[in-house]
Structure 1
């Protein structure tokens, strides 16, 4: 356990600057979007008052943080999309940087007097840690954004908003922060399965080099087909009355569990027996 924690600390430490940059960019873009939206709305109401002499609330609806999040969802999506892209790229680099750095760090890493599976699980845990840190920070930003919005909007024109309503006013957050545990399990379960398949494919390439590229692509394609085909087949059979909903879910869960177990086993086996430096 101590060796695993040391390796996990090392992986998090190597990514820390990129993680801080993503956090800072997310905060800057989203909070500026909220501030500019509120300022623009206030200016529009002031212009209306100057032109007509009538109170803005007679013509405009109350200012709402939920509506502001909905109107600026593009600027919320930009840093989120960038963070996802960076994490996907780093899921490759977290392995390959050990081989292609200035020194052959992989040699020292895989020669440590501990089980190689610690390297595998440290890299896996690090990626998941980055994902949930960014999600947790996004949740933290929502009340901060509401406070900024409330500071700019006139108190007599401000409509109270709940954080949950603001979150689900944004299409991106409906995927990242689903309402139910079942949706959360499906969305992030698929992400974790994809990460495990990716790790297995990378280790196939590291084990067999050029031939390993073919093996890795074939394995990833087979897993993708295995995950998608039952959804289509069960969908047709379910509409025909062959399966109950619970049975369809059970079959899909069994297939997903099989992919998880096989990907983890394959990755650990290759790392222990096949991967060379």
Structure 2
């Protein structure tokens, strides 16, 4: 545990500059989205009034309806900020492995030579990604409350309508995947997400331990998993299951793959990678 905590602290210290820049970039884009959407509404409202229409809010609302914070979360700058955060963390999840394996004096040799279980190296990197994802979620929730406060203050009260923040994004928005409104969806999405991350780390470790042979084995494993999933779907079993049964079957299957990938990563670090 001591080795894990020391490595986790080390990984966090390496990540904090990148993470700080990512949070600042997301915040700046979403702040711009708020004022961009306000100016877009303001220009349209002024044009509506200049065309000689009555300036009564009731008539305007009959034609255009109320404005909500959903206008901000569907703004292209807001969507781009969420997508940037997602792909930025995906990039870093891969980068934190390869940064230690590059260079003439590879730092990975020193990490794997430390006393204690080598699995602490894997656990610290996985834990760092978990911390970055969770921290970004908390940051985004805080931003949503702040953005709603600012946006509702800019729009007239007779035109703006308060809605629960769970309704601030449509099902097709990346925000709905990053911050699902239902706990059941949150459990499903992130169980699948962390399972995919675990399997990706399995492929990375296979590559690092076997080079081109590892790439071949990782590719064969990925093809095998996809083929097994397609064959299972072709059996038609899922068509005879209720939605709740499909839900828990997906959760269970993901957990099995997660545990299998974690065990494979442990074996690769302890047995396959030599220093």
Query: Which range, TM-score by smaller chain?
Result: 0.7 to 0.9
- Seen in structure 2, the aligned counterparts of structure 1 residues 169 and 44 have a Cα distance that, compared at 3 Å, is farther
Equivalent residues of 1:22, 1:79 under 8 A apart = no
CA RMSD of aligned residues (A): 2.4
TM-score w.r.t. length of structure 1: 0.87
Shift of residue 49 of structure 1? 2.8
8 A contact 1:8–1:123 mirrored in 2: yes
Q: Distance in 1 between matches of 2:50 and 2:166?
A: 36
Residues 237 and 15 from structure 1, CA distance in 2 versus in 1: closer, same or farther, beyond 3 angstroms? same
Deviations 1:198-245 (A, max 9, x none): 111111112222211111222233233444543x235x2343x4x565
Measure, in 2, the Cα distance between the counterparts of 1:254 and 1:169: 24
1:208 aligns with 2:206: no
Instruction: Tell me which residue corresponds to 2:267.
Output: 269
Give the corresponding residue for 2:234.
233
Q: Which runs of structure 2 are paired with 1:58-77 in the superposition (5 Å)? A: 58-61=58-61, 63-69=66-72, 71-72=74-75, 74-77=76-79
| CA contact 2:208–2:214 (8 Å) conserved in 1 | yes
Is the contact made by 1:205 and 1:212 (CA closer than 8 Å) also made in structure 2?
Answer: yes
**Closer/same/farther in 2, CA of residues 180 and 51 from structure 1, 3 Å limit:** closer
Q: Select which of 177, 183, 187 maps to 1:181.
A: 183
More helix by share: 1
d(CA) in 2 for partners of 1:229 and 1:10? 43
Structure 1 equivalent of residue 117 of structure 2: 115
Give 1:193's aligned residue. Answer: 195
2:257 corresponds to 1:259: yes
State the alpha-carbon separation in 2 of the partners of residues 226 and 137 from structure 1.
38
Give the 3-state SS of the residue equivalent to 2:257 in structure 1. helix
Contact persistence 2:195–2:254 (CA under 8 A)? yes
The match for 1:125 is 127
Look up the match of 1:28.
28
Q: 1:37 to 1:219 in 2, by over 3 A?
A: same
| Number of residue equivalences | 272
1:229–1:84 distance in 2 versus 1, CA, 3 Å: farther
Partners of 1:51 and 1:250 lie apart in 2 by: 57
Aligned residue for 1:52, secondary structure, equals coil
With over 3 angstroms needed to count, the CA separation of the structure-2 counterparts of 1:238 and 1:47, relative to structure 1, is: closer
Task: After TM superposition, give the deviation of residue 102 of structure 1 in Å.
Answer: 6.3
Q: Deviations over 1:135-170 (max 9, x none)?
A: 221111111111221232233433233322224477
1:7: which partner in 2? 7
TM-score when normalising by structure 2: 0.88
